[in-house]
Each structure stands twice: as structure tokens, then as C-alpha cells.
A and B are shown apart, each in its own frame.
Chain A
Amino acid sequence: MTRSTRIVCTRWGVSLGLILLLEAACRSGVVPTLAVLPPSEMFAAMLELLSTEEVLANVAATFSTVAVAFLAAVLIGFAAGVALHGLPRFRRAIDPLLASYYSVPIFVFYPLLVALFGLSALPLIAIGFLAALPAMLIATLLGLDRVPPVLRRVARMHRLGSARTAALVILPAALPNLFQGIKLSLAYAFIGVIAGEFILSGGGLGYAIAYAYESFDNRTMYGLMLFVLLSAVISNTLLSTWESRLQRRRWRA
């Protein structure tokens, strides 16, 4: 067994062990079942919930909001990153803002967004977008920064125009960072949308969880929570796998 398979196996083992431990702790009453549901029941609750129309509607609402926010953030974040990279002085000036961005809880802007966009899906999309945008922008800047200058000179030696230089040299060279940005953007869009729903809005999975908590419906709460967490972990893992598949040969040193 190679070291990396051992690592993966151990990771699965540890995860499974933690789940079993929680199961045992709940079943034996060390953790009160009133506070935490045993994982097996969480899972059963999740499956039950996912067969109800109401929950599926919530899932669809949340996922589509996240998807729109994510796509907009990736496209606009990339474009803004490229533009900002070309304007070094402006970039230096707004650098402190970028660096402090994630220290401000963005959904405090929710009322403002509602006033701007009305009570629709747009304010939530905007929150997801605002949460994800800087991740993509910063990743794009970093990616462009890290393109080795000598590669640009190679492009000039091959007498490539600026479009072909961008497509054939700059973009592939910046790709690892761009991918990182895409991954983070998805995670942040999801975090932003769920948090917005949870605290402020009247719909979607986040709201359903908050509502279940307030009506002491632990089964629903834990079922939905498990679903949200699994969705985040699975989508993140899928992207990571795809990323390492793309990068594997490339960076195998």
C-alpha cells in the first residue's frame, strides 16, 4: 500500500470512527438525544425529507440561487481581476479594502439589497455573489502575478499577438490559481446564501433549518443540516478531485 492510499484510508477510517463515536455517545446518553440526534437518525431524516415536495422546492430554490451567484462571481471576478491587474496603481490603492473584505459580515447589507432589488431572489443572489466575488478576483490577481515573466517573453519570441498570448500562455499558466478561485467561490457563494437565508430571508434551506430550530423540530433540523453539509463537502471534494486530475501530471515533481 502506498503512503497516499494509506492516508486516504486513514482519513475515511477517522471520519467513520468519529461518526460511530457520535452514534455511540448519543445512544448511550452521554450526549443528550434532545440536543444531538444520532448520525443514523440524521441520515434517515435526511432521506425522508428529501422525498417531500416542500423540501425539494427549498433545495431547488437554494441551489439555483447559489448557482447564479457563483457563476456571476466567477465571470465578473475574473474580468475584474484581469482589469485590476492592468491597473497597478488602482490595485495598490484598493488593496487594503480587499484584504479586509472578509472581516465584514456582508449580509449586514441585506436590508440595503432588499431596498435596491425588492423582495425577490435577487438580494440573496447578491449576497452569495458578494461573498464569492473577492475570492475569484484575488485568485485571478494572484494567478496573473505568478505567470513567470519568461513565459511572456517566449510568447513574444513566437511573435504571438496579445489574444493568442492570453489564450495559449497566460491563461494556462494562471490556471491553477484560477481553479482555486473557482473552488473557493462556490464554497463562499454557498456559505453566503445559506447564511442569508438562515438569518434574514423567509425561504430556502437555510431558513428551513432556522425555522425547524425555532419550532423544536430537531429531526427536520438535523436532516436538513446534514444535507447542506454533505452538499458542501461533496461539491468541494468533486472540484478538488477534478482539479488534482488536471494538475496531477503537470506538477508531479
Chain B
Amino acid sequence: MTRREGLLDGTLILLAMLAVWQALYQYAGSAALTPPWATARYAVELLGTPTFWGHATQTLSAFAWSVAISAVLGIALGLWFGAFRFAGDVAEPMLASLYTIPKVTLYPVMLLLFGLGPSAKIAFGVIHGMIPVVLFTLGAVKNIRPVLLRAARSLRLSPMQTARFVLVPAVLPEIASGLRVGFSLCLLGVLIGEMFASQRGIGFLIINGINSHNVKLTTAVTLIVIVFAVGANSALLALDRRLHHRG
């Protein structure tokens, strides 16, 4: 497929989605959502208000913290579990299980432990985002082909050189994939956190809009969240693909 065709298809899909949106609006009415064009205009308007940015800053900072903590802890734990095969084999299904539980039920515990401030949101983001980072890192280390290490030894590489030229390039693509998934889930965790028992942040704006039947606000903020999530995710996906092609 040529680049032009890809662009054309992308545009068509976008138009189709806008058409579905418009049709939903026609069907469900303004009590449910606002139409595309009006929503986009209001979203742009929102982006110019300090109130919105007050909430956005809250969310973004909690998000940034939870991504940073998930990344550091997740990679460290993943490397550790990967290096100690037995510990890894014990932990992997437990982590996978943890990944599939409805973590939202744990949010009250976070609130009880951390109070109503941003720490509970950050902790909640971390529980969501860290597990995939651990699992991907663990998988990457476990799946290094032993022959690569033997090749490094036969080339008389020092441990530092082995790490620099063999280990890191071998595990990096998988870790990047884990970070991408973790990134998305951190955002999900933080937003859910803000939707419950919170007075600030984007999640709060959405839930507040829902509760006060401010459809215009809800739809516009939702649009902003989706555009941000899809945009960031696509950028990370492109990076991810580059790394994997090389690896």
C-alpha cells in the first residue's frame, strides 16, 4: 500500500467516525452528547481557559509521577525477576493475575492509606501501569537467546561492554513496548482516581459534567482526553516500531 492510499484510508476512517458521531447525536439528542463541530469548538475554547488548565495540570502531574514510578519500579522488578529465573517463574502468573483483577475496587484502599490528595491518584496509576512494565521487562530478559551471551564471551567483551552492546539492545524493544502499555494504563488509573472522591483534575471534570448534566463539558473534555491518549499512544507506537525493526 502506498503512503497516499494510507492517508486516504485514514481520512476516510476519520470521516466515518465523525459521521457515526453526528448520527448518534441525531438519534440520542443533546441530552446525550454534542455534535462534532460544536464539541471541537468548545474544546478549543476550553483549552484557552485557566480553569481547564488548573485541572489539566493536576492530572498531568499525577500522570507524570505515576509513569515515572511505574517505569523505574517496573523495570527494576522486571530485571530482578528476569535475572533470577526461579523468582520470575514464581511471580509471573501472580502478576498476570493481578493484571486481570478489577483494580478499581482497590481505590478506596488507596484513599484510606494515602488520603484524598494526589498521592492516592499516583499510587492508583502505579498499580495500573507498573504490572505491564514488569511483565514485558521480565519477558525480555527471559527471552534473551543464550547464544548471544556466548557470542559476547567468545568476543571477549567485558561485562560493561556485554551490557552496553548485547544486553541493552536485546531487551530495549520489549521494555519500550511495556512502557507504552504502562503509559496508557497509568493515564487510565489517574483518570479513574479523579472520577471518584476527587475535586480536581480532568477525571473530575468529566464526572462533574455527567452528574450536573453538563453534556457540552463532558463531551468536550472526553474529546480532549481521547485526542491526547490516541496522539500520545500513536507517537509511542511509532517509536516502538522503530525499536523493534532494529532489534
Interface residues, chain A, with chain B CB atoms under 8 Å away? 6-7, 10-11, 14-15, 34-36, 89-90, 92-94, 96-97, 99-100, 102-105, 108-112, 114-116, 183-184, 187, 190-191, 194-195, 198-200, 206, 209-210, 213-214, 218, 221, 224-225, 228-229, 232-233, 236-237, 240
Contact = CB atoms under 8 A, between A and B. Distances in A.
A121 to B, nearest CB: 18
Given A209-B108, A210-B108, A228-B105, 4 more contacts: A7-B90, A110-B210, A115-B28, A200-B210
A209 to B, nearest CB: 5
Given A115-B31, A198-B196, A213-B108, A7 B89 contact: yes
Given A89-B9, A225-B105, A36 B184 contact: no
Contact of B225 (A108, A114, A116): A108
10 nearest interchain CB pairs?
Answer: A115-B32, A103-B184, A187-B100, A93-B9, A194-B102, A213-B108, A103-B229, A35-B112, A100-B233, A100-B230
Given A116-B32, A195-B102, A206-B104, A7 B229 contact: no
Nearest to A232: B101
Given A111-B218, A195-B104, A10 B13 contact: no
Please tell me the size bucket of the interface on B.
Answer: 35 or more
Interface of B: 1, 5-6, 9-10, 12-13, 24, 27-29, 31-33, 86, 89-90, 93-94, 97, 99-109, 111-113, 181, 183-185, 187-188, 191-192, 195-197, 206-207, 210, 215, 218, 222, 225-226, 229-230, 232-234, 237
Contacts of B5: 89
Given A92-B1, A97-B13, A104-B229, A112 B32 contact: yes
B187 A103 contact: yes
A184 B89 CA distance: 21
A123 B163 CA distance: 51
Contact of B111 (A94, A108, A213): A213
A48 to B, nearest CB: 18
A104 B90 contact: no
B210 A236 contact: no
A179 B191 CA distance: 31
Contacts of A111: 32-33, 210, 215, 218
